[in-house]
Amino acid sequence: MKIFFNFFFLIFSIILGIRSIAYGIYEVKQNENKAGGIGFTVFCLLTILFCNIVVCICCR
């Protein structure tokens, strides 16, 4: 059951990561807000990475 949960959480995190990258690109291209787009993308990806590490460590 833990393996299924970790796999599901990883897939969900990848989907959220792709969506955050897409929104960051939208901010940079459409709104010409480079700092906001890059900052949002980096913050979201670091948060997703940290959450995956914590879930993998705690669900052993």
Nearest alpha carbon to residue 21 among 5, 3, 40:
40
pLDDT digits (tens, 9 = 90+) for 5-55: 889 999 999 999 999 999 999 999 999 999 999 999 999 999 999 999 999
Q: Check if the beta carbon of residue 46 is closer than 8 Å to that of residue 55.
A: no
Amino acid identity, position 23: Y
How far, in Å, CA of 50 to CA of 44, rounded?
10
Name 36's Cβ contacts closer than 8 Å, sequence gap at least 6.
27
Per the structure, the complete domain to which residue 54 belongs is given by: 2-58
Residue in the structure block whose two tokens are 């890059």: 38
> For the whole model, what pTM was predicted?
0.84
